[in-house]
Structure 1
Amino acid sequence: MLEVIMESEQSTIDDCMFRGECLNGIFGDGNEEIAIDMSDYIVSYLKNRNKEDLLGYIGRSIEGPKILESISKSSIFRGEEYVTPTYNGVDEWRFKYESYQAAMQGGLDEFNKLIYSRRESIIESILAQYKHKCMRSYLYYDEVKGNLYFDINEKIKKTLTTLRLYINNLTNGKIVLEDSFNEFVVKPNFEEAECSGINKLRKLEEGDFKKRILSGLEDISWYDIFIDVDQDRDTGLYCYGHLDKVCRYFGDHIIMEIDKALNDANHGVNALLVETFDKFNEDIRNELELKFRIIDNYLK
């Protein structure tokens, strides 16, 4: 086994670490703080091949709890930010029906034709807006600042760069890690099985969420309680009115069901995003293990 840190060198290394002589001028971009934070873990790894603490440090540098908190906040569906269709019909208050029931049915037919029959497309439109507004950063990998996965990769690249420079300098050339050691790109597997969280969210307006929302809506006959029917005293004919009120209640009901489905603690969007992030963390760990194998080869 190559003795990277020999006993005779240990006191010198310890002194350098305390004085910061191993850090001056070799990291740049403010990375000295990262190097200082990692120093004990790096030395422990090189001396004892204890990489778990160092891997743990890199994992903590991602700031997972803060990311999960951000995901939780940004994925909340806020119904007041979305608009459902309103009724602008011209057939209200026309006394042309022979009975109360006929007028009521006429109102329901008009409500169905203009709004209720479109409930599926209304839900799809709102879900598509929500997905674009609140989840773009989580559902796709874009090499731009603000994309969750790209930002995490960049953080790890910065840490790996510091780790490489530290080890190269600390071991006086016994370990030489190339620039390629810094490269780090991990992406979620967007081609996973259909049941995966990421695919459910990508197909938000097509799959289970839409079905759950539709199943929560009432049958059209339930909405007759919001339709007003009036009778002309002279002719005895009936008319319907206030379909705008029916449409408003129906729109509120759609928003309520979307809120219930998306914000569900166990089966909502946040739960699926956490599932995706946990899997992403596993992939990060596996990729970091490959990086450490490069160093392990020097320690054999």
Structure 2
Amino acid sequence: MNLSRRNILRSAGVAALGVAAGGWVTGCSTVAPGGPASGAASNLLDTAKEQGFIRVGIANEPPYTQVSPDGQVTGCEPDVLRAVCKRLGIDEVQGIITPYESMIPGLNANRWDVIAAGLFMKQSRCSQVLYSEPVIVSTESFATPKGNPKGILTVADIIANPTLRIAVLPGGFEEGVLKTANVPASQQVKVNDGRSGLEALTANRADAFMLPTLSLKSLAENDSSFEISAPVDDAPRTGSGAAFRQSDTSFHEAYNKELAAFKATPEFGEILTKWGFDPSVVEGVTTEELCKTEG
């Protein structure tokens, strides 16, 4: 299946690990969709403590999320989730890789219990899930051919030149930014993942590829064929945290309490710094603020 924003088989080099039709699970065991933590009548917090694990919907987009060749689920968001869950008495986090546009539907269908994947907050998403307080705050940039020959630095540049073609990931935050700015669909080139976005640039099917700044920097570690613009100053500030079903209020409340305590420890800053995020940027930023972002 295609993973919008990222196809793990092509962008992460983990094809040997395999993908199942209903999602691919890392960790000690495979949990079928609608596994032991599902069920509207259950209390997710109590159930997760009893079974000793929680299922998390993730992507495979470093530095937000990452799956190593041996199947370890890591990245900034899963590492924070794991640390907070341990404070709640839940020892194991089992990652299920899924396309971004399927994350909220899968959560609400009980295929996983929480999302921790850099699923940026915006009005449409905040109306469907309970977000924790932010863990990261992110900026957007454009990948362009060397020299940025079309001079693409802002969303306004795209609107001003109807010949420009911008690669975006279906269901991604960036697609929403362009839609909100009324960038015509004819100017948007849909790609499956980071690698195919760069391939669109190389093949001249797109003039730029819009993605979070740090995601592009991660791609640049193995590809020097493009350059990265400065953060797009007319794209809204965004960020993400763990997302829960609206019915899982007790877990959401307990998680936010422990997250606040964890943010006050050195370990929180160490995790963010390890993955290239500035922990000071998230200070004072609230879910309420980020959920006002249109889209």
TM-score by length of 2: 0.21
Structure ID, larger Rg:
1
TM-score by length of 1: 0.21
